[in-house]
Structure 1
């Protein structure tokens, strides 16, 4: 005979929204890690290419080859700059995703607390009902024995 939690649909909805925010946050974190990995790869490639240029210069190269190296390094630098912007944007997206998840999780916990309190009230009501029935049973049993003259 316990009553259902009136906010149960809201609790379920908030659970779904929190689960979705968790999935989104996982995707955002993965995207950020991927962007950082690409940036690291570009930076490593630039360092390797700059080292090749140093080696080539030490062995002697033409102006045209030097210009080609410098042009390519400039392109890599531009790619690194763009990738840093992507990493920054990804960090911002992840931060917003974390905030969204925290807000949803806080709401879910609040509604969950209300649900727990409701369940506890219902358990206490049920315990009282059971105790009342047990008391009535004991009273009847005692009354029946007293009428029969049966010793207790």
Structure 2
């Protein structure tokens, strides 16, 4: 009879932790992509607004209108700086998430390797038991019929 893998609860725990780390890493990657997308949108909006300012300057404008354009561009620049920090933070979070996932995956593989070794040993033991039974059966048969004839 096969012996159960004594570390099976640990294997299941490590599988759950790896699954959770995978799910969390997916969320971190999505957050990073979202932050980068927002930054790109802000940069694009700033470029478009700067083009409008150039067109307005070419057509002529008052100092007040120019000041309003410059003030708004300053606010967009602040938003871009803030979003750049958010992108850096999300990249950092993703790197930490990747490292955590790698650690969990390495631990899972170690326990899984032990499980595979256990299964191989149990299979080998079972094969030896079967061979022993066959040998005993053959020895009994030979003892009752030494010439191997069926009577």
Q: Distance in 2 between matches of 1:110 and 1:15?
A: 11
Q: Distance in 1 between matches of 2:85 and 2:149?
A: 92
Name the counterpart of 1:150.
149
1:150 Cα offset (Å):
3.1
**CA offsets per residue over residues 19-65 of structure 1, 9 Å max, x none?**
00000000000000000000000000000000000011011111111
Q: Distance in 1 between matches of 2:61 and 2:143?
A: 115
Gaps of 5+ in 1: none
Residue 78 (1) aligns with residue 68 (2): no
Normalising by structure 2, what TM-score?
0.96
Residue 5 (1) aligns with residue 8 (2): no
**CA offsets per residue over residues 57-109 of structure 1, 9 Å max, x none?**
01111111101100000000000000000000000000000000000000000
Report the count of equivalent residues.
Answer: 151
Gaps of 5+ in 2: none
Give secondary structure in 2 for the equivalent of 1:35: helix
Normalising by structure 1, what TM-score?
0.95
